[in-house]
């Protein structure tokens, strides 16, 4: 069986089953985001055609980075061709970013990517951020694996009278140097009360093959709550639904994730972030 491999650097390698007639097709992959107060971050690569059971090394992935892409960002007032730089903090270790444009709440951003014969475009908006109110360990699982792991609760107050969508991002300060998405934390606000708590149990890293809980006791994590528009929410919702329902865990069909990206796989997301919170993971029932 032929498959196509494409990379979402904040998450995991995704094996995308393609139709037989499309098995040898190559696709452009764009992963980008911009937060209020921060520079845009964009990664561009091409898919890799593989056969079932074939091993793909990190070196193979790096060779498919599209370093010579032309990446242009506009905020409606300013337009800039983003600069590509090596960045070992991400994998693949190459990002396109800006020296002038910073994210602003309420602004709309248009991303255009040109590479070889590819032309891709996406538009996103940064919604109003919502701060984290509480962050705590709810329970700890002992004995299941070598390391004891935690369920962490993220609590916040959803503003009423507006439609909001949320996702939790986190990093373990002992091993991460940037934020990753957390699984099963993408949610709308139509079922929320005045105060809501969302549980999460793992941080999804690119090279981690397993999806089991990995928030370990005595580790410090940093967490941020991201607001997003409905299109970005739909992308993450499709991603999580397919990931959790797949017998392979990482198997996706090309084009099956709803996205704002026209002309490429991937997404371009605007995130509203009201700061971050840190938490040292301790058993709440342990004696001092």
Looking at residue 142, its pLDDT comes to 75
Q: 186: closest CA among 171, 165, 204?
A: 165
Q: How many residues does the chain have?
A: 288
* Positive/negative CA dihedral, 101, 105, 107, 111: positive
Looking at residue 18, its pLDDT comes to 39
Q: How far apart are CA 62 and CA 92, in angstroms?
A: 6
Question: Phi first, then psi: what are they for 203, rounded to 5°?
Answer: -115, 125
Cβ proximity of 124 and 108 under 8 Å: yes
- Domains belonging to the chain, first-starting first, are 2-127+230-271 (no CATH), 134-229+274-280 (2.60.40.10)
CA 1 to chain centre: 28
Q: Model pTM? A: 0.84
pLDDT tens per residue, the chain (288 residues)? 334 444 454 443 333 333 343 445 788 889 999 999 999 999 998 876 655 455 555 566 666 688 899 999 999 999 999 999 998 877 778 999 998 999 999 999 999 999 999 999 999 999 999 999 999 999 888 765 557 889 999 999 998 888 899 999 999 999 998 898 887 677 777 777 789 999 999 888 766 655 678 899 999 999 999 999 999 999 888 877 766 655 444 445 556 678 899 999 889 999 999 999 999 999 888 765
């Amino acid at each position: 069986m032929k498959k196509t491999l494409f990379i979402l650097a904040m998450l995991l390698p995704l094996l995308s089953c393609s139709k037989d007639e499309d098995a040898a097709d190559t696709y452009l992959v764009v992963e980008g985001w911009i937060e209020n107060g921060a520079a845009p971050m964009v990664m561009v690569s091409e898919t890799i055609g593989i056969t079932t059971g074939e091993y793909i090394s990190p070196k193979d992935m790096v060779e498919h980075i599209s370093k010579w892409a032309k990446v242009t960002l506009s905020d409606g007032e300013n337009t800039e061709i983003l600069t590509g730089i090596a960045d070992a903090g991400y994998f693949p270790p190459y990002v396109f970013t800006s020296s002038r444009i910073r994210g602003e709440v309420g602004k709309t951003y248009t991303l255009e990517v040109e590479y070889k014969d590819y032309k891709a475009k996406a538009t996103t908006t940064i919604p109003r951020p919502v701060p984290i109110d509480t962050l705590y360990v709810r329970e700890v699982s002992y004995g299941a694996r070598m390391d004891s792991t935690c369920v962490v609760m993220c609590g916040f107050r959803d503003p009423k009278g507006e439609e909001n969508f949320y996702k939790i991002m986190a990093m373990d300060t002992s091993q991460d140097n940037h934020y990753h998405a957390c699984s099963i934390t993408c949610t709308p606000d139509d079922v929320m009360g005045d105060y809501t708590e969302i549980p999460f149990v793992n941080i999804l890293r690119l090279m981690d093959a397993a999806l089991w809980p990995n928030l370990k006791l005595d580790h410090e994590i940093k967490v941020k709550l991201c607001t997003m528009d409905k299109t970005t929410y739909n992308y993450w919702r499709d991603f999580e639904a397919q990931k959790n329902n797949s017998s392979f865990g990482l198997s996706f069909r090309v084009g099956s994730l709803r996205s704002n990206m026209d002309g490429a796989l991937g997404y371009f997301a605007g995130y509203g972030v009201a700061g971050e919170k840190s938490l040292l993971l301790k058993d709440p029932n342990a004696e001092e």
